[in-house]
Structure 1
Amino acid sequence: KLVSRGDWLVDEKLFHPINRMDVALNFIDSNFKLHSSAQYHLHIGASHHIVNIRHLGESFYQIKCNATMIAHHGDRFIVRDPASQHTLGGGSVVDIFVPRRRRSSELRLAQLSAMQNDSLTTLKLLLQTEADGVKLQEFATNRNIREAQIDKFCEQLQTESINYSALSLEKLTLPLLLHEKYHREYCKEILGFLKNFHEKQTSQQGLSEPALSRGVDFASSHLLFHGILQTLLDSGEIKRTGTLLHLPTHKTSLSAEEEAFLAQVRPILLQAGFIPPRTRELVEMTNIPLMSLERILRESAKAGTLIKVAENRYYLPETIMTLAGFTEQLAATEEDKDTDEGFSVIQFRDASEIGRNLCIELLEYFDSVGFTRREGNSRFVRTSKENIFGK
């Protein structure tokens, strides 16, 4: 029996089964006390679920069900006692995207209160108060709104001179809206931190995205941070060299030793192409003692003139860019086969003619910087090479 009473037939884009939802609930008896361990009967639409109910604050509650449910903002329901003999109360769904933490905080209760309005008013209120922005994908799914209606809401915001930035986030069809006051403050913090970093670390080209996020103590998601960074990159206020982010005006100050080393090692790495010599092999080629060589290699990586892929492998930034382009082509070739299986280490090895161990090190490096992602034995390109390694 695959279909039961109360089941929904929905478009794949709208399919979002849930186990928790935040609701507005009123009890018939205003003195009724919930028992956290009790199991109540929820009747929503034509479906029936056994649920636990937790009071969040004011008239807001969280309903949890072991089985999955389908619901949207505004759907009405009733709750009956554990024996299903008496109707205890009723209410409506407020939000099906329940936060993992601080579910009953003042901020969350304020969000739920804002969501009690019509869609456009709710969007305005959330935009004004949400420092993390409003994910339009979740907003549309929660309220069962078509993308065309979302576009009209955005046009109305612009008509009313409500300034915001629309940030494109990975895996989301619709952008995240971030009010201009929050966007401006985040950008100010990032640019200010980079300026101070450059003044103190003149020999370093810049910072990786994770290091920059830690430096500004960014408390929200890495996806939001990446979206904000992308606006700074697009506007030219920040530049990317290799995987390092820096101000456009910043130039590294290399020591005479580092400049001499680069002049010596650059031709070696250019000739080596995709398979650079190991650190100990560089010792033999340059006649530089191992400890001194390792120190200069570390300093060169910090300066952005070399990229460290593994403990004993360093690449020129332009070689990494070429390898990234090769990886994009390999991924596109596999996509053309309509298998949705990505590409494997073996396929990368055979196509690049690089040894298996170095292939693994390269792909793990690409994973670590966010260029590729691993799923089982397959890998997929997450974003264009320019977004990670600059242009």
Structure 2
Amino acid sequence: MTDTAPALILGTAGHIDHGKSSLVLALTGTDPDRLAEEKQRGITIELGFARLELPDKTIMGVVDVPGHERFVRQMIAGSTGIDMALLCIAADDGVMPQTIEHVAVLELLGITACVVALTKADLVDEEWTGFVADEVRARLASTPFAAAEIVPVSSRTGSGLDELRSALARSAKGAKRTKREAPLRLPIDRAFTVRGAGTVVTGTLWSGTASVGSEVEILPHGLRARIRGVQVHGRPVERAEAGRRVALNLHAVGVDEVRPGDFAAAPDSISVTDRFDASVSFLGAAGWSKPLESGSRMHVAHGTREVTGRVLLMNGRASLAQGETAYAQVRLDEPLPAAWGDRFVLRSYSPMHVVGGGMVLRAHPRRTSTMPPADEALLDALRNGSEASIAQAAFSLASLPVTPIELAQTSGLDEKTARRELKSLEAAGGAVRLEGETGTEDRWASRAVLQRHRTAIENALLRFHAEQPSQPGIAKEALRRRCMPRATPACFDALLADAISQGVAVVSGGEASHPRAGAGAKRLEEQATELLASTLQEAAGAPPMLDELVAGSGLAPSLAYRALNTLEQQGRIVRIGQVFYLDVAALERFEQAVRARLSNDTPAAAAELKDAMGTSRKYAIPLLEYFDATGLTRRIDDKRVLNA
């Protein structure tokens, strides 16, 4: 069975003892208070879950959160990933401190759809209910929930439940649904062991699809596990889409290796970060009068985890007043798997109150709070959400040609979107494609970036030739280190290929040179080659030893050795052991003499073969060892024979 029907996650919110859990039970028939302590104390401590089917057949997963001030962290964790809120306010109590704090959390998490339930309506008369409803409207007037429907309801008598279900169905039509096409991301809110099954984790599936048999990565630890089973509200399915409350049975990971606050994600789809650039809103709190100062230490709630960190406002801004929003870099004491578009909540360090939050823009920025105009343009685009603008802004910041994966990492876009936008830029003339070599990705760069690096390569080659006039070229890796050490070898190869196509570089034998400046060195090497070839030809069977040859040539040692290597590659000379080079004509004469001496199958000693070759022992022994090594002769005791 596959669970792919449209689904939304409904989260409760509200002050303690305002009837959230009782209302969930009345609506769904499921008691979300599962702990004995919760039932004994009459309050919700952990998150509770239920399934709600509305009159129009819309299916909702319901997350019931604690209302007590001591459990605000659990409330934030439960509100992560919800699509709409059910704000519970007791008609006999009205708006209370946690009501206000929970509304702030919902606002900071980007929740826009909300229905207000005036619970315990059976305890008050209609006039009082109307008075409380007016108070609620006034409190919500400055929030995204100003137009939220307010429905009086009683979990005890059942009055108003049908009206509430209808209001929820209407609100659901305007709720933002979770992205299904993105890679799997599941913030884990529970981890436990089931006998006979092993480790089970639960959470709200933020994005992607959870399928039996697929692999997930547990972050921030980087562990890999395979999904053995998937359940949606206690019902086993083969696959579950984003927007569902799911339970995943994981193979090859112990319950002590995964805990609430971790993320299950598609492998390699996201990496953890110890800082992110964000749009931060400061709301303050009841009784809070001071501004948010840059560098303030805060609790940062993201997904189902809360860590500590500091909020550094951009470009030297000293503070943020209540109601203001600004760009900031949030630096974390523990890494989080944050990505573009993620919402987070800030709680003051001590005492702890919800004071602000915002949206993650760049998940892997440089460690700086200085924001040049180009960086600000990227943050503006990320905040506004236009994929084309984001790609354009991130591309303009690239100092090197980028692959779609690299642009995705810089911008926060997924790889598929980054590739599409790069092709659009190319089609519009704003980007040039550099084809990758076999096995490597294509890259894109602006014309200005290409010209800058083309010039850098040309200048580096000219400097090299000025410093080393006898050298024909420089190794490609050495050239990369000289002119653009930050470029990967694959990126540099693409830039070098562009420089070659534009006539400012040539590559031969793994060495790069300038088409003009390298010509003299090439002629010098050719002259050295012919000089040494002539010397060895004239020496015939009595060439100088290698060190004597180099010293007597009058050439620079590096040039002499390169010339000898060239002659050997051309097949004009042969190296005999480590001691001397021999002209091939002389070597052929020695070989013929050895063949003639051993042709009658009569073994011969080294001295006899020396005499047959007409040379001295200095040359004979290395020659005979060379013939042994090449398979012409075979040594038996102190004599040699021809190989068959």
Give the TM-score band, short-chain normalised: 0.5 to 0.7
Kindly indicate whether the alpha-carbon contact (under 8 Å) linking 2:532 and 2:564 is maintained by their aligned counterparts in 1: no
> What is the CA–CA distance in structure 1 between the aligned matches of 2:500 and 2:307, rounded to whole Å?
49
Indicate the SS of the match to 2:349.
coil
- Equivalences for 1:212-291 in 2 at 5 Å? 212-213=479-480, 217-218=483-484, 220-223=486-489, 224-233=491-500, 238-248=505-515, 250-251=518-519, 252-254=522-524, 258-260=528-530, 262-263=532-533, 284-285=545-546, 287-288=548-549
Structure 2 match to 1:13: 268
> What is the CA–CA distance in structure 1 between the aligned matches of 2:413 and 2:536, rounded to whole Å?
56
Structure 2 match to 1:104: 370
Cα displacement string for residues 124-180 of structure 1 (whole angstroms, at most 9, x for unaligned residues): 123335333555324324666444333322332233332323465999x75543112
> What is the CA–CA distance in structure 2 between the aligned matches of 1:52 and 1:266, rounded to whole Å?
75
Structure 1 match to 2:145: none
Indicate the SS of the match to 2:331.
strand
Using the TM superposition, give the Cα deviation of residue 187 of structure 1 relative to its aligned residue in structure 2, in angstroms: 1.3
Q: Does 1:296 align with 2:556?
A: yes
Kindly indicate whether the alpha-carbon contact (under 8 Å) linking 1:203 and 1:253 is maintained by their aligned counterparts in 2: no
Using the TM superposition, give the Cα deviation of residue 42 of structure 1 relative to its aligned residue in structure 2, in angstroms: 0.8
Higher helix share: 1
> What is the CA–CA distance in structure 1 between the aligned matches of 2:403 and 2:396, rounded to whole Å?
14
Check 1:21–1:129 CA distance in 2 against 1; reply closer, same or farther (3 A cut): closer
Kindly indicate whether the alpha-carbon contact (under 8 Å) linking 1:137 and 1:175 is maintained by their aligned counterparts in 2: no
Aligned equivalent of 1:26, options 281, 302, 307: 281
Indicate the SS of the match to 1:104.
coil
Check 1:68–1:61 CA distance in 2 against 1; reply closer, same or farther (3 A cut): same
Using the TM superposition, give the Cα deviation of residue 318 of structure 1 relative to its aligned residue in structure 2, in angstroms: 9.1
Cα displacement string for residues 47-95 of structure 1 (whole angstroms, at most 9, x for unaligned residues): 2222233233362222222322111101111110113621221111111
Check 1:294–1:177 CA distance in 2 against 1; reply closer, same or farther (3 A cut): farther
> What is the CA–CA distance in structure 2 between the aligned matches of 1:88 and 1:225, rounded to whole Å?
48
Q: Tell me which of the two structures has the higher relative contact order, counting C-alpha pairs closer than 8 angstroms and 6 or more residues apart.
A: 1
Aligned length: 292
Indicate the SS of the match to 1:194.
helix
> What is the CA–CA distance in structure 1 between the aligned matches of 2:500 and 2:511, rounded to whole Å?
12
Indicate the SS of the match to 1:83.
coil
Check 1:61–1:134 CA distance in 2 against 1; reply closer, same or farther (3 A cut): farther
- Equivalences for 1:41-80 in 2 at 5 Å? 41-57=299-315, 59-80=326-347
Indicate the SS of the match to 2:389.
helix
Kindly indicate whether the alpha-carbon contact (under 8 Å) linking 1:72 and 1:141 is maintained by their aligned counterparts in 2: no
In structure 2, the gaps of 5 or more residues are 1-255, 318-325, 538-542, 572-644
Aligned-residue CA RMSD in angstroms? 4.2
- Equivalences for 1:341-356 in 2 at 5 Å? none
Check 1:137–1:50 CA distance in 2 against 1; reply closer, same or farther (3 A cut): same
> What is the CA–CA distance in structure 2 between the aligned matches of 1:135 and 1:265, rounded to whole Å?
53
Using the TM superposition, give the Cα deviation of residue 121 of structure 1 relative to its aligned residue in structure 2, in angstroms: 0.8
Indicate the SS of the match to 2:556.
helix
Aligned equivalent of 1:81, options 328, 344, 348: 348
- The amino acid across from 1:72 in the alignment is A
Q: Does 1:3 align with 2:263?
A: no
> What is the CA–CA distance in structure 1 between the aligned matches of 2:347 and 2:291, rounded to whole Å?
12
Check 1:170–1:318 CA distance in 2 against 1; reply closer, same or farther (3 A cut): farther
- The amino acid across from 2:260 in the alignment is R
Using the TM superposition, give the Cα deviation of residue 190 of structure 1 relative to its aligned residue in structure 2, in angstroms: 2.3
> What is the CA–CA distance in structure 1 between the aligned matches of 2:352 and 2:366, rounded to whole Å?
33
> What is the CA–CA distance in structure 2 between the aligned matches of 1:185 and 1:159, rounded to whole Å?
22
Q: Compute the TM-score of the two structures, normalised by the length of structure 1.
A: 0.60
Rg larger in structure: 2
Kindly indicate whether the alpha-carbon contact (under 8 Å) linking 1:297 and 1:306 is maintained by their aligned counterparts in 2: no
Indicate the SS of the match to 2:545.
helix
> What is the CA–CA distance in structure 1 between the aligned matches of 2:330 and 2:441, rounded to whole Å?
28
Aligned equivalent of 1:159, options 427, 434, 444: 427
- Equivalences for 1:327-342 in 2 at 5 Å? none
Check 1:12–1:168 CA distance in 2 against 1; reply closer, same or farther (3 A cut): farther
Q: Compute the TM-score of the two structures, normalised by the length of structure 2.
A: 0.38
Structure 2 match to 1:205: 472
> What is the CA–CA distance in structure 2 between the aligned matches of 1:293 and 1:300, rounded to whole Å?
8
Indicate the SS of the match to 1:125.
helix
- The amino acid across from 1:157 in the alignment is L
Indicate the SS of the match to 1:221.
coil
Aligned equivalent of 1:179, options 443, 446, 449: 446
Kindly indicate whether the alpha-carbon contact (under 8 Å) linking 1:167 and 1:178 is maintained by their aligned counterparts in 2: no
Check 1:317–1:5 CA distance in 2 against 1; reply closer, same or farther (3 A cut): farther
Cα displacement string for residues 169-209 of structure 1 (whole angstroms, at most 9, x for unaligned residues): 999x7554311222123213423553575578653212233
In structure 1, the gaps of 5 or more residues are 268-281, 308-313, 320-391
Same amino acid, percent of matched pairs:
18
Kindly indicate whether the alpha-carbon contact (under 8 Å) linking 2:276 and 2:360 is maintained by their aligned counterparts in 1: yes
Higher strand share: 2
> What is the CA–CA distance in structure 2 between the aligned matches of 1:15 and 1:317, rounded to whole Å?
50
> What is the CA–CA distance in structure 1 between the aligned matches of 2:535 and 2:349, rounded to whole Å?
75
Indicate the SS of the match to 1:287.
helix
- The amino acid across from 2:556 in the alignment is I
- Runs of 4+ aligned residues of structure 1 deviating over 6 Å after TM superposition are 264-267, 292-295, 314-319
Kindly indicate whether the alpha-carbon contact (under 8 Å) linking 2:450 and 2:495 is maintained by their aligned counterparts in 1: yes
